[in-house]
Amino acid sequence: MEQSEQIVSVEGLSKSFGNFVAVDDLSFTINKGDVYGFLGQNGAGKSTTIRMLLGLIHPTKGEIKIAGLDIKNNKTAVLKKIGAVVERPDLYTYLSAWDNISMFAKLSGGNISKDRIKEVLEIVGLTGREHSKVKAYSQGMKQRLGIAIALVHDPDLLILDEPTNGLDPQGIAEMRALILRLGREEGKTIIISSHLLHEIELIANRMLIIHKGKKVVEGEVKELLNPDDMLVDVSYSNDKDVVQLIKNSEWGTFLESGTKTTLRFKMHLDKVPALTKGLVTAGVNISEIKSTHSLEAYFLSLTNQLDAKAGVI
């Protein structure tokens, strides 16, 4: 089996601010072509890590390599390989999208052609609005313009810190489609820091979860989301005590919670058809049954276990 090319390698990365340890001995790798979800609660150390990847702050200890180059000794060369949107893009709202891209391209010292500017505007879906002033743009359009600026020098690695922050559902859907296109059609390696776990589940192929600066887990999304952890929600309408009925049945071991109108089970995907048949046979009047394989549930399970071990309530 051909080994994937590593574009990011982080080893033993730590960052302290006085007595506070923001990032604690963090190690991970990102392969070429990955859409890599970087997950953690607020204060987990995501933004601090991203700023170290971009050379904006220096690690207390540890090593960062981008495309095989140590950022500490090759910062200029490394940054040419990276495009980034950290929080909301810093744009000149009184200028057009075209002028914003042109200005940022000049500031970065790149010799960017008009054809390349047209190309990135098309990629992010702003063709036809390139000469409109940015102050008339929606927040979603501004986010996409920020990505166009990050892409204009054709970087190998794109880093997006909370790219859907402040967006409405339509804007989130457009951002999701853009990220998928950048990965699949443009061949970009992408790091996405986000608190919207269901969005990461839809677009990332690999992910890292950190908690209080430490790595919790890293790997393929499809492998980390164990099929045994499928959540099955059943809505029903019955006069009798269905919850007690289920507790006394073969399905009682799978029951996570129950009310007078809903049941939640945790089980392997393959058991769902048998569960449905069993409930109907037992006389449960099912109105709806939904199964979800939730990254959010997985994330909360891991972090809650860590907090319980640490004695955090």
Instruction: State the average pLDDT over residues 297-302.
Output: 68
* Per-residue pLDDT tens digits for 181-213: 999 899 999 999 987 777 787 789 999 989 899
pLDDT at 289: 83
* Per-residue pLDDT tens digits for 90-110: 899 999 999 999 998 888 777
* pLDDT for 172 beyond 90: no
DSSP H/E element including 25: strand 20-31
pLDDT at 40: 86
Query: Does residue 166 contact residue 13 with C-beta atoms inside 8 Å?
Result: no
* Per-residue pLDDT tens digits for 54-90: 999 999 999 999 999 999 999 999 999 999 998 778 8
pLDDT at 220: 87
pLDDT at 17: 96
- Using CB atoms within 10 Å of the CB of residue 144, give its burial: 0 to 12 exposed, 13 to 18 middle, 19+ buried: buried
* pLDDT for 118 beyond 90: yes
pLDDT at 245: 92
Q: How confident is the model at residue 295 (pLDDT cuts 50, 70, 90)?
A: low
More confident residue, 251 or 310: 251
Query: Does residue 152 contact residue 126 with C-beta atoms inside 8 Å?
Result: no
pLDDT at 1: 39
Q: What is the secondary structure of 106-122 as a DSSP string? A: HHTT----HHHHHHHHH
Distance CA 11, CA 65 (A): 9
pLDDT at 228: 67
More confident residue, 11 or 268: 11
Q: How confident is the model at residue 116 (pLDDT cuts 50, 70, 90)?
A: very high
Neighbours of 305 (CB within 10 A): 12
Three-state SS at 83: strand
pLDDT at 222: 75
More confident residue, 104 or 239: 104
pLDDT at 290: 77
Q: What is the secondary structure of 137-200 as a DSSP string? A: S-HHHHHHHHHHHHHTT--SEEEEESTTTT--HHHHHHHHHHHHHHHHTS--EEEEEES-HHHH
pLDDT at 297: 66
Amino acid at 226: N
Which domains are delineated in the chain? 6-224 (3.40.50.300), 227-292 (3.30.70)
pLDDT at 303: 72
User: What is the residue-averaged pLDDT of the chain?
Assistant: 88
Amino acid at 78: V
Instruction: State the average pLDDT over residues 107-134.
Output: 92
- Using CB atoms within 10 Å of the CB of residue 84, give its burial: 0 to 12 exposed, 13 to 18 middle, 19+ buried: buried
The 8-class DSSP code of residue 253 comes to G
101: Cα separation from own chain's centroid: 26
